[in-house]
Amino acid sequence: MSAVVKIMTDSAFQQCLNADCRATFGVDQTLFACPDCGDLLDVSYDWDRLPIPRRALFGSMRVDRSDPLNFSGVWRFRELLPFAPPESIVTIGEGQTLLRGSDRVGSYIGLNAGGLLLQYEGLNPSGSFKDNGMTAAFTHARIVGARRVACASTGNTSAALAVFCSATSFGFRAIIFIGTGKIAYGKLAQALDHGALTVQIVGDFDDAMARVRDVTDRLGVYLMNSVNPFRLEGQKTIMYRILEAMNGRIPDWIVVPGGNLGNSSAFGKAFLELKQLDLIDRIPRLAVINAAGARTLDELFNERGLRWNDGRPEMSLASDYYAELDAAGKKASTIASAIEINRPVNLKKCLRALDVMDGTARSVSDQEILDAKACVGAGGLGCEPASAASVAGAKRLREEGIISPDETVVCVLTGHQLKDPTATVAYHAGDQELFDSVLGSRGVRRAGFANRPVVVANQIDDIIRAIALYGEPES
C-alpha cells in the first residue's frame, strides 16, 4: 500500500448516526446498518489527517478532462469524499450535468428575472441523479471485492445499477427486484436493455425490498439501495457542481423532491462538511418537497414537530404515524413514482440536513406537479414528474412568502423526461380516455398547460391554415 492509500483508508470510516451509540467501523466493511444498534451509518472523515481541500475546487482548476477522475462530475471533487484510493474508483463519466437559468420557469414560480436556476441531473448516463451515488457505491463494492450487486426498485436506482454493471469491466452482475405493480417503461426498458437479472416478485415494492434484504444477507450480495451510505457521498457532489457553476456565489435556496430522502440527506452533509472545512461562508436553505400522496416528511416535520434535536429525534413520532397509515390501509400514491414512498429510509439523516440548512418541507398535489412539469418542459429542460415537485414546491413556498421574489433559488431536476413518457402524453395529448385512465384517478382535473396536437385533414390548404392559426413565432 502506498502512503496515500494508507492515509485514505485510515482517515475514512463508517459511523453510526445514533447519538447514544456512535460506533465506528472501517470503510473496508460491508454493512448496511449499525451492527450494534441497527441505526443508519454515515461515511465520516478525520479531516485533520487528510490533504486539505481548497476553495479552488470550485473554480475550473481541473481542466485535464482526459483523466477519467477529472472528467467525472463526482470525482473531480474527490478531496471531499476521500474514502477510496484513486486506483479503485469506478466511473462511467457521471455528473456531466448542467445548471441553467430559466426566467420562464422563474416567473411561473414568482421569482424575479435571474432568480431561478435549474440543476438538470437528467443528463447523467442513466438519465437520473442516481448515477452520482452509484459511482461511489460501486467504488466501495470494488474495494470490498463484491461482484453481485442488488437493489429493489421499479425505477431509477435499478436503471443506474444496470448501466454501471454493463458499462464497466470489473465483473459486476446486476440483480434487480421489482414488484408486480406498475412500472415506468422508460426505467424498466433500461434494466432489461442493460442486461440486469430482473427478478419479479409476486408482491408490491415493500415485498421486493424485504426479499432483497434477505438475499443480501443469505448470499452476501452487495446492497445498492440508499441505506448504503456510500451512495450519499457521491450525491454530495450535486451541491459542489452548483457552487462551481455559480462561481463562488451561494444560492438562497436549494429545492429538491423527497422520496427515500437520500438526496436531501446528502445535500445537508455536503454543506455541513463545507462549513466545517471553512470552504464556504454561508449555507443555503433547503426545501424538501413530497408528493401529497406520499407526504411523510411534510406531516412529521410540520404537523408533528419532528426535529433533529441534536441527534436525538423522537422517532416514535414516525413509528406512530406509520402505524396509523397501516391501520387506515393507506398506501403511497402519486403520479411521481420516484417519490411514491411512505417510509423514507433516510428520514433521520434528512432531519439533520433540515437542521444544518435551516430547511423546511412541503407537499404538492399531482395536479401541481404536472403543471410545473409542463412549464419546465416549455422552459427548455425535460424532466419526469417527481423532478417537477421541486418547481411546484418552490412556487408554493413563494406564494406563502417563505421564499421572496428577489432570492436565488436552485431547483434540482432529478430525472429525465423520457423516463416516464406516459404521464407526459396523457397530460398533453388531449385524449380524454388516456387522461382519465392515467391522471384522472389521481385527482388531476385539468391540463392547464397542455400543448395539444392539432388534428388537420391531409390537405395542404388546411395545414397552411393551421400553421397560420397556431404557429405564430414567440413575441
Ligand X SMILES: *Cc1c(COP(=O)(O)O)cnc(C)c1O
Rule CB under 5 A: which residues touch Zn ion?
16, 18, 21, 23, 34, 36-37, 39
For the chain, the distance separating the N- and C-terminal CA atoms, rounded to the nearest angstrom, is: 64
Cell triple for 196: 440486469
Which of 260, 296, 334, 365 binds ligand X (CB under 6 A)? It is 260
Closest by Cα among 250, 327, 322 to 283: 250
* 337 scored as a contact of ligand X (CB under 6 A): no
Minimum distance from residue 434 beta carbon to ligand X (Å): 22
Of the candidates 327, 331, 346, the residue with the CA atom closest to the CA atom of residue 294: 331
Among 14, 72, 156, 228, binds ligand X (CB under 6 A): 156
Q: What minimum distance in Å lies between the beta carbon of 265 and ligand X?
A: 7
Among 146, 208, 386, 423, binds ligand X (CB under 6 A): 386
- Region binding ligand X by CB under 6 A among candidate stretches 88-96, 241-249, 258-266, 460-468: 258-266
Rounded to whole angstroms, how far apart are CA atoms 341 and 152?
13
- From CA 395, how far away is CA 164, in angstroms rounded? 35
By a kind-dependent CB cut-off of 5 to 8 A, residue 352 interacts, out of ligand X, Zn ion, none, with none
Residue 145 and residue 349: Cα distance in Å, rounded? Answer: 28
Q: How far is the CB of 413 from ligand X (least distance, A)?
A: 8
Q: Which one of 73, 95, 115, 257 is in contact with ligand X (CB under 6 A)?
A: 257
What does residue 222 show for φ and ψ, rounded to 5 degrees?
-80, 130
Site size for ligand X (CB under 6 A): 19
Q: How is residue 470 written as a grid cell? A: 397556431
For residue 363, the Cα-to-chain-centroid distance in whole angstroms is 16
Please give the Cα distance from 318 to 127 (Å, whole number).
32
Q: Minimum Å distance from CB 238 to ligand X?
A: 11
Q: Which three cell numbers stand for residue 148?
A: 453481485
- Among Zn ion, ligand X, none, partner that 37 touches (CB below 5 to 8 angstroms by kind): Zn ion
Quick one: what does residue 261 bind among ligand X, Zn ion, none, with the CB cut-off 5 to 8 Å set by partner type?
A: ligand X
Instruction: Write out the H or E segment, with its range, that includes residue 271.
Output: helix 262-276
Contact call for residue 387 and ligand X (CB under 6 A): yes
CB 93 within 8 A of CB 125: yes
For residue 270, the number of C-alpha atoms closer than 13 Å in the C-beta half-sphere is: 27
Residue type, 341: I
Distances (CA, A) of 283 to 27, 142, 272, 353, 413: 28, 34, 8, 11, 20
393 binds, among ligand X, Zn ion, none (CB under 5 to 8 A by kind): none
Question: Angle CA(35)–CA(145)–CA(14) in degrees, nearest 5?
Answer: 35
Part of the chain binding ligand X (CB under 6 A), chosen from 23-31, 80-88, 252-260, 365-373: 252-260
Select 259 or 382, whichever has its Cβ closest to ligand X: 259
- Contact between 263 and ligand X by CB under 6 A: the answer reads yes
Residues in the chain: 475
Q: What is the footprint of ligand X within residues 226-245 (CB under 6 A)? A: 226
For the bound state, the minimum distance from the C-beta of residue 423 to ligand X, rounded and expressed in Å, comes to 12
Nearer to ligand X among residue 226 and residue 360 (C-beta):
226
Say whether residue 414 binds ligand X (CB under 6 A).
yes
Part of the chain binding ligand X (CB under 6 A), chosen from 44-52, 251-259, 433-441, 449-457: 251-259
User: Which residue has the closest beta carbon to ligand X?
Assistant: 415
Residue 339 binds ligand X (CB under 6 A) = yes
Contact predicate 83/8, CB 8 Å: yes
Site residues for ligand X, window 197-226 (CB under 6 A)? 226
417 lies in the binding site for ligand X (CB under 6 A): no
Going by C-alpha positions, the residue among 209, 142, 145 that lies closest to residue 179 is 209
Query: How far apart are the C-alpha atoms of 372 and 399, rounded to whole Å?
Result: 14
**With CB cut-offs between 5 and 8 Å by kind, which of ligand X, Zn ion, none does residue 34 bind?**
Zn ion
Task: Please report whether residue 146 would count as binding ligand X according to CB under 6 A.
Answer: no
Contact call for residue 128 and ligand X (CB under 6 A): yes
- Asked if residue 9 binds ligand X (CB under 6 A), the reply is no
Coil, strand or helix: which one is 364?
strand
- Tell me the C-alpha distance between 98 and 95, whole Å: 9
The verdict on 259 binding ligand X (CB under 6 A) reads: yes
Residues that bind ligand X (CB under 6 A): 128, 130, 155-156, 226, 257-263, 338-339, 384, 386-387, 414-415
